[in-house]
Structures are given as structure tokens and as C-alpha cells.
Structure 1
Amino acid sequence: MMPDTSQYLAGRTLILVSNREPYEHFHEEGAAGDDVKVRRPPGGLVSALDPTMRCTHGTWVAWGSGSADRETADETGRLQVPPESPAYTLRRVWLDDADVDGYYLGFANSALWPLCHMLLQHYDMRQEYWDRYVAVNERFADAAAEEARRAPKAPVVWVQDYHFALVPSLLRQRLAGERRPTFIHQFWHIPFPPPDILRLLPTAAYTGVMRGLLGNDLIEFHTDRYAQNFLDCVDEFVPESRVHRDGKRVRLGDRDVSLGVFPISIDVEQYESLARGPDGAQKAAELREKYVADGGSLGVSVDRVDYTKGIPERLRALDQLWTEAPELRRKLTFVVVATPSRSELRSYKTLEEEVVAGVKAINDKFGEDGWTPIVLINENVDAAGLASIYRAGDVCLVSSLQDGMNLVAKEYIACNVDEQGVLVLSRFTGAAAEIDDAILINPFNVDGVVAGLRRAVTMPPEERRARMQRMRRQLHRATIFDWLEAILARVDELASSATELRPAAAERSTQMSAEPSAA
């Protein structure tokens, strides 16, 4: 159940800044006339934040990416949402193809993304990427500043992710001198790299990123390791700052920048409901009937096609597993959901082709009449479909090479309502720092992955149940709504403290200006 988070925003107006928008208007392909449809992009972030925005009547600043977005907004890019019951403002920022290529596909996803995931072979940096990233961040900062000035109450601006590393500092500059203070904070959804990795960016870029982020009052990470990496980078690249590691705080000039660790989660009740529902139960049973022989097991994995997810490494482990353990042929079938992603980037398109070819090679090598070792689903699957796949799976393999959190692990636990599944989890995910009863693997060690899978498949039923029950109890205590509440409570604490201190600071400043100069 979602807690009442509006209590932490009493007397404040929430302004969200994200790349993706919560409502997108588009012309239905093939439809006649001016028929405009609206859709909500999938993802837990929108489902968690949309109710808060409705309760607090704030403003969401995002890229207007829909084909009918311009015609449904006013001249400033603003409209009221949700369409069926307007409760808050969506402020759209317009990007052209060059913006998307340079800012999003370029710097954000060809430079920052691979560096933060420490997969340097995919790093691709161009000056034009950085220039466009700066320009787009300035545009979003302009929009957020306008909305902060419009806000009926003291603004709290919450910036989302690595697309907007420069926005906090730019926004602070734009709002300098405003009578009403603005609290700025940011959630960094991916890993944060150590200094030796971040410095692979050009000097202007890595110093720009660090100084941009230090425009926040609070920066939120998934794990303590990411927060410590950030502090290491501050130490290295912002020499005039003072780092307080014990308190996770940076002193820069007359300001404090706080860091917090807030592991993101999922809407547990939603996934459980989908898995327990008649459709979820029926489809799960159908999957097992189709792919599981008597006494056999069904393995599942779910990912976007992304080089961070370790899909080729997973396929190599499965190849070795069926080579070393021929008794598991026909006894273990794997359903691999690999959703196409960022296909405009050559590295992603190449990876997708590699995955398809790798699955075919394994099926040709081990397949027999009536048995296909790997069932590849190379398309988008909705939440209901995923819930049935998760529920059907005896084993879920998450083999990410690096992952900020990895919510697939948590979705699998939520949907494992029969409490007989085993989670095999890469130790290089943020989730591995939270989930105590998974079998941890190193995806770079194929022998270790094979050993983890064999242990999962042969684990006694009583141990499977005990482990899954503990993981499910743990997950129920840390949902996405708990994540949201913890962050907003921390924001409330810091913003209230700053407000209490400000009058005293202003009084001291007045007294000092009235005193005679020592000169």
C-alpha cells in the first residue's frame, strides 16, 4: 500500500525533472483523421511518482517525445495531467533529432553509461556529444527555473538520473537571489564510477559533471559503494571542497551537499497481484506444461538487450552447463526474454544479433526432437506477461556485468508466490547488497555461473522454500513506496533545517555588514 508521502511536502511544491515523460500523446499509426492517443511509459518510477504528483499538484518537466505532444500542450509546452482527471502540470521540453543524437544517444548513453558501468570497450566520446549535453541541460534548467518561480509554495526540485548531471548547478545559478529558497536533489539511478574511470572523460566534461552534481543539496545513490566512489571523485576533481566521509557530506563554499543511500525497489503488491491472478496463474501453468518435462526445471531470465546485462556470458554458461551435465538436457529449459533496446546505437544492434545467433547455435548443438534448450522472446513483454514467466520459473538467472540495482531480481521474488524459486544473482548488481538468500555468482567466471546453476537446479524443496520466504519478507519491507517515503522524509528534514538556519544566517550577515571595516 502506498504511504501518504504528501506529508513530507507540506508547504512545498514538487518539481520533477526527468528524461521520459509520465504521459505521452501520439497519433495512432494507420488511424484516420486527428485521432490522438495517450500512453503512460512503462516503469516503476512513473507508477511511484505519479500519485505523489497528483496529491501535491506539482510540475513534471520532461522531454516531449510523443508525435502529438506539441499539439496537446500550450505555447510554453505545459498541459494538465492525467488526461482523465487533471491534477498536476506536465512541462514538456522540445528536443530535435540532433539533440537526441548528441545529448541522449551520444554523451549520456555512449560516454557516461559505459563509464559508469565500467565497460570501457563501449566508451565513445565526441566533443559534439558534450556540447549538445551542455545545451540540453541548460534548456532543462531554464524550464525548471521557470516552474520554480511559478510554484505557489517553496519549490523542491527533484532531478532524475545521469541525463541531467549539470542541471542542479545550472538551476542554482538561475535561481540565485530569489527571495524564496529552492531545495534541489537528485537520484543517480546507475552505478557511480571511481575517479580513474571518470577521468577518461575530457577534463571539461568530468569536472563539469562533478561541479554540476554538487549544485544539489542532496544526492541519492543505490548503495554505499556508489556514494563512496562519488566522494572519491569529489576529493580528486574538486580540490576546494571538503569531504566528510563519515557523515557522507561535502562542504563547498558556504553550502553542504549531503549524500544518501536509498536502494530503489518495485511495487510489490502489483507484481504479486499479477502473478496470483487467474491470467497469471493460467499462463504460468501453460508455460510449465509446454516446456517442463516430468521432474524437470524451467529457468528464466529477463533483460533489455544491453551489454551491461551479461547476456552473452549467460549463454556461454548455459552451453558449458549442458556440455558438462548431459543429464540436464531435456531436464532444464531456459526462457530468455531479451527486449530490444537503443537499437539506434550500433553496439546494441550488434549485441542483439549476437544474442539471436548465440541462442540458435546452442539450440542447434543440444536440441532434440521435442526439446528446445533456449526459448528466446526477442520482443517487448508487458508486466502481466512477465509476471507469469517469473511465476513459472524454478530458477531466475541475473548475470549483469554491472547494474545500479537490477529490479528483475525483485520482480522475480515478488512473483514467486509458490515459494519454490531460486534466484541466481550477479554480485555486481546493487541488488546483491540487499538480497541475502540469493546464490551469488561472478558472471565473468563461467565455471562459477555453471556451479551456481547446478546448485539452484538441485536445491532441495525445503531449502528453496525457506530461502524464498526470507527474500519475500525482506522485499515486503522495502517496496518502491518505502524508497520514495525515505527520500522525501530526508528532503523534509534537510529543507526544514536549512529554513530554520537561514534567518539566523541572514541576521549575522546584516550585523557584519553594519560593522566598520578593519581597513
Structure 2
Amino acid sequence: MPQQPHGQTSDETKADGEHDLARHLRGRTLILLSNREPYEHVRARDGAVKVNKPAGGLVSALDPTMQRTRGVWVAWGSGDADRENADEGGCVAVPPESPAYTLRRVWLDEDDVEGYYLGFANSCLWPLCHLLVQHFSYRAEYWRRYEAVNARFADAVAEQARATKGEAVVWVQDYHFALAPAMIRERAPGTFVHQFWHIPFPPPEILRFLPTSVYQGVMRGMLGNDLIEFHTERYAANFLACVRDMVPGAQVRGEDNTIAFEGRTIQVGAFPISIDARAYQALAESPTGERGARELRARHAVGGRQLGVSVDRIDYTKGIPERLRAIDLFWTVHPEFCERVTIVVVATPSRSDIPAYSALETEVVDTVTEINARHGTPGWTPVELIHENVGATELAGIYRAGDVCLVSSLQDGMNLVAKEFIACQVDQPGVLVLSRFAGASEEIDGALLINPFDVDGFVAGMHKAFTMSESDRRRRMDAMREHLFSATIFDWLDSILARVGTLAARS
């Protein structure tokens, strides 16, 4: 089975990649705008202040580039000790142990969080972009707060951009800031602005669930970019269709994915995000990761028994109830797998302040209890539910232990769980059962694709996975690992910033 490519160590490869990323900027200052901050000051129970670095591939990949380019990261100051550890302008030098760039914090109050974040971003845009309109909930106050907060962040970014005297590149992250690009352009003319949209983008008939002035505002805001990046060509095509239908005066050229609007040309492209594959493999191979995998397999996968794994945060887009129904039916249709297959379900609580999420959390716990009561025996618990936050190394051990990984997203921009599982498969070759509605399905060749809405087809996919020959498993996993290690998050960053460098030089 392929491990990491030979010829360079992980550190050498990573260092070279960071150097290349900085080179694409050609001396320009990188200003990054995201909802989530890379460093957070929080107060412990004893009153001491500590610095947390939120887990996540994007932060881990971009932080070294920001350090090398001495850029500015603008984000919501969400830590309870953030304000007292920043200057009057909300700025603090990071990383704390060796300051190399500026973190500019923007302050939000409870009403801002309720309207901008929980409201418009996550009760309007999130369900619409994932085509789950039953969860869509619009209020005019949500939109007003979203506009106001986007303007506040745009002010902060523009102030930093003007300080560079036109030599800035602004990179806006995700659906929290659909309006910010046009606002930044108005406040700092001549600045190169681009945006990565981390979730799916819907077709026009779905975006029209928003009031007319609102969806037009969203589209015009995004057209403030010079380049807009999506995971897949399908999402890019949906965006172009929305521009064509919703923005009078915009001319869409589908042959080269460009838009002519108000005297400018906006580029649109597909850039599938990835993970730091070597870092995940290293976690799986670490003593803690190896021990966790060994203990899981000793408990669930000896004597010809097999272990299935699934990993998600609690979110209605992930298809967790649909997956549990398929798991339940699997043992009903194939009772010979009772006491022969155990499923570990990691379901991390998320956005519990939103009623749909808290209800889903309750449903997941109750359904697992019912499945175990229906199929379990005194010596066997069919589903082991891990209903808490899990550290990265422990998670890598779970991935490493799995014979089969179940990913059943109803809609997903990419789904990095699929890639994390592949990176951590360093022992027996596992099988990836993947929803065809995840962006990853358009990139990964070797997974068993299923429709999570088709419970019988899902069960058939599970049966095929658990009965697949070792040679077929190995062939598929080898191909998936080879692709993954040649298309990491650093390659993703390189492809985007290379395009940015070329376009910024022209402008």
C-alpha cells in the first residue's frame, strides 16, 4: 500500500510548499478574512489566560503562509479573553511564541451572532446551499444584521488594504461573507479580492427562496471578487446560472467561466480542497494513534469480525439518520452479520443553539439506543456511539482501525472525512462507502458510491463493502491513497494562489 512519497521528508516537502505559496504573492501582503480566528485567547477556570489554536486543516495550512508573508488575518474575536489581549484596534501579533503576522479581531455582540451567524448564515444560506429547504428560515432582521456585520468586517479589511498602498491580496473565506467582496472593493479600490466558497452553491430555483432584493444583494456582493473559487465544476456552473438569471447587466461566458460586469471580468473556477495527508498519516502512525487502533480492533475486529466507522459533527447535511436507518436495516436483511460487524459512530455536538441541531442530536442518541436494543446481545453492542469531541490523534486511530468507513452526506461541499480515512489507512486496506452527493465523490476514484436516500441501495453498498475481497480492497485503497498524496491541501493552496498571482499581475 502506498505510504508517503519517497525522496523528501514530510518537513522538507511542507517547507518547499510554503515557500512556493509565498512566491505566488510576489511581495504582496495577504489579507485573509474568515469568521473563525487562528488564535483565540480564553480564560481557564483558575483565571489564567491560555491561547487556543482551533483545529482545522485550513488554519494549519494557511498559518505558515501568513507567517512567511507577514500578512494580516481578519476574523471574529470570539475568545472570552480576546479583547484584553489586543490593542485598541483589535490587533494582536501572532503566533504568540514567535510573532510573525497580525491578527485583526472584529467584535460581535450577542445580537450580531444571533442575526448574522446563527440567523442569515446558518438558517438561510447554509440550508439553501445544501438544498435542504425544509430547514430554511428567513427573517428580515437576519439580513439586516448580515449586511451590518459584513460591512464591519469590510471596514477592517479595507483599512488594512489601504495601508499596503495597493499591494494587497484579500482572500475572503466562505458563505459568512457573501457581501464583503463588493464592500471591500468600494472601500479599497484597486485591491485584488478573491473568495473560496467552502460549501455547495445552489441552482437559481433554490436561491430564489430568498426575497428578490436579498438574493440580488448576495450575488452582487460576490461579484465584487476578481476570482471566485468553488470545490467542483457543478457548483461553479450553479453560480454562473444564478448570475445569468439574477444579475441584470452581467454577461456570463460559459466557455471560459468568466463574467463581465460593470467594466470588470470576474473569473470562476473549481479548486477541490484537500487535507494535509502526511500529517494525518503521521497521527495514525503515532504511538497514541497506533494504540487506539489496536485497542479498537482487539475489542471489535478479531476472529474474522469487522469494524465499520463513521465520523461527523451533528449536522442535518451529513445524513446521520439516513445512515443509522441503513445500519439498522443491514442487520435485519443480513442477520448473519450480527455479532460479526460493529459500527463506531462518532457524532460530535455542533451548533446546539439552533433548534434543528439540538433535535437532531436527540434523534441520533435515541436511534442508536433503539438499534442496540433491537439487534444487540449480552456480549455484543452493535453501535458504539462516541457523542463528544474527539482529539485529532484519537480520531486518526479510529480511521486506522476501520475496515469500512461510511459517509452519507445528503449534500456536502467536499467532505474531508473521506480523505482523512484514506490518509489514515496504513494497515489493512479499508473500503470507503461514499455518498454521491458529496463533492469528494466527483474526485475520489475507488470509493463505493451510494445514494443515502435509497436505504436499500445503501444496505447493498454496505454488504458489498463488508464482503469485498482483500485484493479488491487493496486495489481501490492504493489508487485512492496515490491520488490523495498527490493532491493535498498544499497543492490546493498552490493552485489557487498561482491563479491569483497571474491575475493580480495582469490587473
TM-score, length of structure 1 as denominator length = 0.94
Cα deviation digits, residues 190-228 of structure 1 (max 9, x gap): 000000000000112100000000000000000000000
- Compare relative contact order (CA 8 Å, sep 6+) and give the higher one, 1 or 2: 2
Q: Is 1:490 the equivalent of 2:499?
A: yes
The alpha carbon displacement at 1:175 in A equals 1.7
List 4+ stretches of structure 1 deviating above 3 A: none
1:230: which partner in 2?
239
Structure-2 separation of matches of 1:212 and 1:454? 47
Aligned residues: percent identity?
64
CA shift for structure 1 position 135: 0.3
Structure 1 Cα separation of the partners of residues 166 and 96 of structure 2: 24
Q: Which amino acid aligns with 1:64?
A: G
**Equivalent position of 1:13 in the other structure:** 29
Is contact 2:315-2:357 (8 Å) kept?
Answer: yes
* Alignment CA distance shift 1:418-1:152 (3 Å): farther
- Once residues 441 and 419 of structure 1 are traced to their aligned partners in structure 2, the CA distance between those partners, rounded to angstroms, is 23
The match for 2:50 among 29, 33, 37 is 37
Give the whole-Å Cα distance in 2 for the aligned partners of 1:223 and 1:417: 28
Supply the AA of the counterpart residue of 1:129.
Answer: Y
- How far off its partner does 1:279 sit? 1.7
2:309 match? 300
C-alpha distance in 1 between matches for 2:293 and 2:419: 18
Aligned to 1:247: 256
Q: Does 1:351 align with 2:360?
A: yes
SS of the residue 1:343 aligns to: coil
Where does 1:87-166 land on structure 2 (aligned, <5 Å)? 87-151=100-164, 154-166=167-179
1:210 aligns with 2:243: no
3-state DSSP of counterpart to 1:320? helix
- Alpha-carbon contact 2:404-2:465 (below 8 Å) kept: yes
Q: Matches of 2:159 and 2:336 in 1, distance apart?
A: 65
Deviation at 1:11, TM superposition (A): 2.2
Match in the other structure for 1:402: 411
1:192-203 → structure 2 map (5 Å cutoff): 192-203=201-212
CA displacement, residues 49-85 of structure 1 (integer Å, 9 cap, x when unaligned): 0000000000000000000000000000001000000
Question: Is the contact between residue 288 and residue 394 of structure 2 (CA under 8 Å) also seen in structure 1?
Answer: no
Correspondent of 1:71 among 84, 94, 98: 84
Match of 1:425 among 429, 434, 447: 434
Match of 2:63 in 1: 50
Name the SS for the 1:308 alignment partner. coil
1:449 to 444, 454, 458: 458
Q: 1:317, 1:253 → 2: CA distance? A: 51
The code of the aligned residue for 1:48 comes to A
Aligned-residue offset at 1:431: 0.2
RMSD of aligned alpha carbons = 0.8
Which of 1 and 2 has greater Rg? 1
- In 1, distance between residues paired with 2:286 and 2:80? 35
Question: What secondary structure is seen at the aligned counterpart in 1 of 2:171?
Answer: strand
Aligned equivalent of 1:85, options 82, 88, 98: 98
* Of 390, 393, 401, the match for 1:381: 390
Deviations 1:346-374 (A, max 9, x none): 00000000000000000000000110000
> 1:13·1:153 contact (CA, 8 Å) conserved in 2?
no
Counterpart-to-counterpart distance in 1, 2:245 and 2:36? 32
Q: 2:338 maps to which residue? A: 329
Identify if the C-alpha distance between structure 1 residues 170 and 152 changes in structure 2 by more than 3 Å, giving closer, same or farther: closer
Post-superposition offset of 1:290:
1.0
SS at match of 1:26: strand
Structure 1 counterpart SS, 2:265: strand
**C-alpha contact (below 8 Å) 1:293/1:330 kept by paired residues:** no
- What is the DSSP-based 3-state SS (H/G/I as helix, E as strand, rest coil) of the residue aligned with 1:493? helix
Distance 2:285 2:174 in 1: 33
Q: Displacement, 1:152?
A: 6.4
**Alpha-carbon contact 2:403-2:428 (below 8 Å) kept:** no
Identify the residue that residue 187 of structure 1 maps to in structure 2.
196
Residue 153 (structure 1) shift:
6.5
Q: Distance in 1 between matches of 2:271 and 2:53?
A: 25
| 2:330 pairs with 1:314 | no
1:504 aligned residue = none
Q: Secondary structure at the match of 1:146?
A: helix
Q: How many residues align?
A: 491
Whole-angstrom CA distance in 1 between matches of 2:229 and 2:215: 19
Which residue is 2:5 aligned to? Answer: none
Amino acid at match of 2:458: V
Q: Cα offset for 1:293? A: 4.1
Deviation at residue 292 of structure 1 after TM alignment: 2.2
- 2:480 paired residue number: 471
Distance in 2 separating the partners of 1:233 and 1:200: 13
2-structure distance, mates of 1:175, 1:293: 63
For structure 1, which segment, 360-369 or 272-281, has the greater mean C-alpha deviation from structure 2 after superposition? 272-281
Paired residue type of 1:296: R
Q: CA deviation at 1:151?
A: 2.4
Find the aligned partners of 2:176 and 2:77 in 1 and give their Cα distance. 15
Contact 1:13/1:152 (8 A) holds in 2 = no
SS of residue paired to 2:200:
coil
Counterpart position of 1:257:
266
The separation in 2 between residues aligned to 1:152 and 1:230, in whole angstroms, is 32
For residues 386 and 449 of structure 2, the distance between their equivalents in structure 1, rounded to whole angstroms, comes to 25
Q: Hey, what's the Cα distance between the residues in 1 that align with 2:141 and 2:55?
A: 31
Q: How far apart, in 1, do the equivalents of 2:412 and 2:218 lie?
A: 20
Q: Work out the CA distance in 2 between the residues paired with 1:292 and 1:371.
A: 12
Can you list the C-alpha shifts for 1:384-425, whole angstroms capped at 9, x where unaligned? 011000000000000000000000000000000125100000
SS at match of 2:55: coil
**Aligned-partner SS, 2:317:** helix
- Counterparts of 1:277 and 1:163, CA distance in 2: 36
Contact in 2 for aligned 1:15/1:158 (Cα 8 Å): yes
Question: Structure 1: which amino acid aligns with 2:358?
Answer: K
Tell me, yes or no, if structure 1 residue 22 matches structure 2 residue 31. no
Aligned letter for 2:38?
P
C-alpha contact (below 8 Å) 2:403/2:429 kept by paired residues:
yes
Deviates more, 1:417-426 or 1:321-330: 417-426
SS of the residue corresponding to residue 242 of structure 2 reads helix
Which stretches in structure 1 are left out of the alignment for 5+ residues?
499-519
Q: Give the whole-Å Cα distance in 1 for the aligned partners of 2:164 and 2:364.
A: 49
Distance 2:142 2:288 in 1: 46
Secondary structure of the 1:307 match is coil
